[in-house]
Structure 1
Amino acid sequence: MRVLIGTDRIGALASADAGAALGRAFLAARPGVEVAVVPMGSGGPDLAAALAALGDDSVVVGDPDAGRTRGVHHDHVHGDEEPTGVDVASTSLGVGQALAAALSSRPRRVVVDLTGLITHDGGAGILAALGARADVPLDRGVGALGGLGSIDLALARERVGATELVAVIDPGELGDLLLGLRGLTSRRGRAAGTDPAVMLAADAALGSLASALGIPDAPGLGAAGGAVLALTALGAWTTGGPALCAQIAHLERTAALADVVITGADQVDFATRGGHVVPEMAAIAQRSMRPAVVVAREVAVSGRELRTFGVEVAYPLGGDAGLSADELTERAAGVARSWTW
Structure 2
Amino acid sequence: MSNAASPLPVVVCLDKFRGSATAAQACSWLAAGIRAAVPGIPVIERPLADGGEGTVEALAAAGYSLVRTTVMGPVEGMEVSAALAVRGTRAVVELAQASGLDLLRIRSPLTATTYGTGQLIRTALDLGCTQIILAVGGSATTDGGAGMLTALGARLHDASGTQIPLGGGHLRDAVTLDLSGLDRRLAPTEFVLASDVDNPLLGRNGAAQVFAPQKGADPTQVEQLEDGLEHFSRLMTLRIGRDHTSSPGAGAAGGTGFAALTALEARWEAGSTFMLTELDVPRLLRAASLCVVGEGRFDAQSLRGKAPYSAMALARKAEVPVVLVAGDIALEDPDLTSLDLLHSYSLLETAETPEDSFTRTEALLTALGERIGTTWKTENP
Q: Partners in 2 of 1:300 and 1:188 — Cα distance?
A: 21
Per mean C-alpha deviation after superposition, the further-off stretch among 221-230 and 263-272 is: 263-272
Match of 1:215 in 2: 242
Residue 291 (str. 1) matches residue 328 (str. 2): no
Residue 228 (str. 1) matches residue 228 (str. 2): no
Cα deviation per residue 1:52-72 (whole Å; 9 max; x = unaligned)?
A: 111123254435352334996
Residue-pair matches, total: 324
Give the match's secondary structure for 2:49. Answer: coil
**Amino acid across the alignment from 1:231:** A
Alignment of 1:67-82 (within 5 A): 67-69=102-104
Alignment of 1:96-175 (within 5 A): 96-107=118-129, 109-133=131-155, 137=163, 140-141=166-167, 143-144=170-171, 151-152=178-179, 155-156=182-183, 158-160=184-186, 164-169=190-195, 171=196, 173-174=197-198
Distance 1:270 1:131, change over 3 A: closer
Q: Partners in 1 of 2:94 and 2:173 — Cα distance?
A: 29
**Amino acid across the alignment from 1:261:** C
- Give 5+ residue unaligned stretches, structure 1: 73-82
Distance 1:335 1:288, change over 3 A: same
Match of 1:79 in 2: none
Distance 1:70 1:43, change over 3 A: farther
Residue 163 of structure 1, CA deviation: 5.0
Q: Partners in 1 of 2:234 and 2:61 — Cα distance?
A: 40
**Amino acid across the alignment from 2:371:** G
Residue 4 (str. 1) matches residue 11 (str. 2): yes
Contact conserved, 2:99 with 2:141, CA < 8 A, in 1?
no
Contact conserved, 1:210 with 1:216, CA < 8 A, in 2?
yes
Per mean C-alpha deviation after superposition, the further-off stretch among 12-21 and 257-266 is: 12-21
Residue 39 (str. 1) matches residue 47 (str. 2): yes
Residue 253 of structure 1, CA deviation: 2.3
Residue 17 (str. 1) matches residue 25 (str. 2): yes
Q: Partners in 2 of 1:197 and 1:2 — Cα distance?
A: 52
Match of 1:248 in 2: 278
Residue 178 (str. 1) matches residue 178 (str. 2): no
Distance 1:300 1:124, change over 3 A: closer
Distance 1:269 1:235, change over 3 A: closer
Contact conserved, 1:61 with 1:113, CA < 8 A, in 2?
yes
Alignment of 1:191-340 (within 5 A): 193-194=219-220, 199=226, 202-217=229-244, 218-232=247-261, 233-269=263-299, 276-299=306-329, 301=331, 303-309=333-339, 311-317=341-347, 318-319=350-351, 320=356, 321-323=358-360, 328-340=365-377
Q: Partners in 2 of 1:195 and 1:323 — Cα distance?
A: 38
Contact conserved, 1:122 with 1:209, CA < 8 A, in 2?
no
**Amino acid across the alignment from 1:216:** D
Q: Partners in 2 of 1:186 and 1:325 — Cα distance?
A: 37
Give the match's secondary structure for 1:284. Answer: helix
Residue 240 of structure 1, CA deviation: 4.9
- Give 5+ residue unaligned stretches, structure 2: 1-7, 66-84, 87-92
Residue 62 (str. 1) matches residue 69 (str. 2): no
Distance 1:28 1:155, change over 3 A: same
Distance 1:294 1:117, change over 3 A: same
Distance 1:310 1:282, change over 3 A: farther
Q: Partners in 1 of 2:312 and 2:336 — Cα distance?
A: 10
TM value normalised by structure 2: 0.68
Contact conserved, 1:130 with 1:159, CA < 8 A, in 2?
no
Q: CA RMSD in A?
A: 3.9
Contact conserved, 2:144 with 2:229, CA < 8 A, in 1?
no
Q: Partners in 2 of 1:309 and 1:95 — Cα distance?
A: 37
Residue 180 of structure 1, CA deviation: 5.4
**Amino acid across the alignment from 2:373:** A
Q: Partners in 2 of 1:31 and 1:119 — Cα distance?
A: 47
Residue 273 of structure 1, CA deviation: 6.9
Contact conserved, 1:179 with 1:207, CA < 8 A, in 2?
no
Distance 1:90 1:20, change over 3 A: closer
**Amino acid across the alignment from 2:201:** L
Contact conserved, 1:121 with 1:227, CA < 8 A, in 2?
yes
Residue 288 of structure 1, CA deviation: 3.0
